[in-house]
Structure formats: C-alpha cells, structure tokens
C-alpha cells in the first residue's frame, strides 16, 4: 500500500503461534485478542519512508490462577524505538556522520525515539 505522500506501508501478520507467559514462563498458545496496531519504521526505499504495520497477538495462560495475558513480542522490532531492528541499525549508521538533531530532521522521528535506539545499541 502506498500513501499519497509516497510513504509505503507493509502489513504483516505474525506467523508465530505462541509466546512465553510473563508470569510462569510456560509457552502459551491460546489466543486472547489482538493488540493495538503498531506502525514501525523500516528501511526507506528509493528515499521514501517505509512502515510496517503489525498487530501483536495477546495470548492467555490458563496454568496461572489469574489467567494473565501476555503480548507476543517478536525479535525483529523494538517497541521503544517503534522500528524494525534493520531500521535501528540504519539510524546508528546515520549517526556516525550526523548529529541526533540532523537524524531527527531527516527521518522525521522524535528525539526520544532516536535516543532509545542508541540506548539499545550501547
Ligand atoms: Zn502462566
């Protein structure tokens, strides 16, 4: 899907069928609900921003007494930086020759997000 302004949005579905219960650590596979859609920055293509849209799955544990739910978190993206790991690496590379302010302006993402990406890498 392409927006009028040239942004590309790619919708992906989680292919993993379970996650670890945050309370007991067991693998749980019973789907409870879908979480709010995440919009993650991904590597730009031909200079246009690319976003990945994903609805994380929330699973429920029936071994724990309170039947807690745990949201699946996949390894290829960061919650704090709202971006894919590839995008995070791209930002780190940009920071070799640019200041954070330059990167914020060029990429149109918040200072806080750039900081959280740096934190993940240090
Ligand atoms: Zn549990």
Ligand 1 center to 71 CA (angstroms): 12
- Residue 18 Cα, ligand 1 centroid: separation in angstroms? 12
C-alpha 27 – ligand 1 centre gap (Å) = 8
* Distance (Å) from CA 20 to ligand 1 centroid: 8
pLDDT number for residue 39:
95
Cβ burial of 99 (10 Å; 0-12, 13-18, 19+) is exposed
pLDDT at 61: 98
Q: pLDDT in tens for each of the 122 residues of the chain?
A: 777 777 899 999 887 789 999 999 999 999 999 999 999 999 998 888 999 999 999 999 999 999 999 999 999 999 999 999 999 999 999 999 999 999 999 999 999 999 999 999 87
> Given this model, what pLDDT does residue 3 score?
76
Ligand 1 mean position, distance from CA 17 (Å):
16
Q: Give residue 89 CA to ligand 1 midpoint distance, Å.
A: 34
- Give the pLDDT of residue 5: 79
pLDDT of residue 63: 97
- The pLDDT of residue 12 is 92
Q: What angle (nearest 5°) sits at the alpha carbon of residue 78, between those of residues 116 and 60?
A: 130
Strands (DSSP E) contained in 25-108 are: 27-28, 30-34, 38-45, 48-54, 57-60, 69-71, 77-78, 83-84
* Sheet hosting strand 57-60, strand order edge to edge: 30-34, 57-60, 69-71
Q: What is the pTM of this model?
A: 0.85
Distance 10 CA to ligand 1 centre (A): 33
Spacing, Cα 24 to ligand 1 middle (Å) = 4
pLDDT at 64: 97
């Amino acid at each position: 899907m392409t927006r009028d302004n040239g942004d590309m949005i790619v919708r992906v579905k989680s292919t993993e069928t379970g996650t670890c219960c945050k309370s007991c650590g067991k693998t749980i596979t019973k789907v409870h609900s879908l979480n709010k859609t995440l919009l993650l920055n991904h590597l730009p293509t031909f200079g246009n921003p690319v976003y990945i849209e994903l609805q994380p799955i929330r699973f429920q544990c029936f071994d724990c007494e309170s039947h807690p739910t745990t949201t699946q978190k996949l390894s290829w993206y960061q919650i704090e930086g709202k971006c894919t790991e590839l995008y995070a690496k791209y930002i780190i590379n940009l920071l070799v020759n640019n200041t954070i302010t330059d990167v914020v302006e060029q990429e149109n993402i918040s200072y806080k997000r750039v900081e959280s990406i740096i934190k993940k890498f240090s």
